Amino acid sequence: MNRLALIAAGAAGLAVFAIAPAGAAVLPADTTETVTSCGNSGLQAGLTTRVCAEITGTTVEFYGTVGLAGPPSPGSPAPVGRELFTTLSAEVVGSATPDTQARPVIFATSTLQVRGLVSTVPCGSTVRGTFGVASFPWAANPVVHEVTITC
């Protein structure tokens, strides 16, 4: 095969790839990607906490996370599981009263998630989630996260 034919074949091949790239996925128009955003972390009951939102279209799921505030001291025994009282709430800002869920959980050492509030809200709404953690003798000091639903 001479050089001119090889170049022409290569150019034709590149043109085909430019039209339909290999491995390209075409998503249906109604497919919506899930976006996760989290607020600032805070300390509650000696643990680090955060509230996050997973947004898919106009559906929002708030969840809270609880983890160790730092690494355990070297040579210390593994922490004993302790009961935490969690409160997760979500509300459309300027609308009705918030949906609230109170749930006891047992925390040992690994980060855990407290899920459960899913809302469908209109486009342009601002939604606020709060997450509080209490454990005797510490009272909850909720962390807050707000997201605006854009469509």
Report the CATH superfamily, name and number, of domain 30-148. Answer: Immunoglobulins (2.60.40.10)
The predicted-structure confidence for 70-129, as pLDDT tens digits, reads as follows 777 787 777 678 899 999 999 998 887 889 999 999 998 888 999 988 888 888 889 999
In the sheet that holds 99-107, the strands lie side by side as 99-107, 82-92, 126-134, 143-148
Domain boundaries, the chain: 30-148
What integer pLDDT is reported at residue 25 of this predicted model? 31
Considering the chain, what is the average pLDDT of its residues? 79
User: How many CB atoms are located within 10 Å of the residue 51 CB?
Assistant: 27
What integer pLDDT is reported at residue 19 of this predicted model? 36
Cut 0.85: pTM above it:
no
Give the pLDDT band of residue 4 (cuts 50, 70, 90).
Answer: very low
Q: What is the average per-residue pLDDT within 31-53? A: 89
Q: Concatenated DSSP letters for 52-113?
A: EEEEETTEEEEEEEEEESSPPPTTPPPPPPEEEEEEEEEEETTSSPPEEEEEEEEE-SS-EE
**In the numeric block, which tokens belong to residue 121?**
């809200």
User: Could you give the CA distance from residue 76 to residue 142 in angstroms, rounded to a whole number?
Assistant: 29
Q: What is the average per-residue pLDDT within 118-143? A: 91
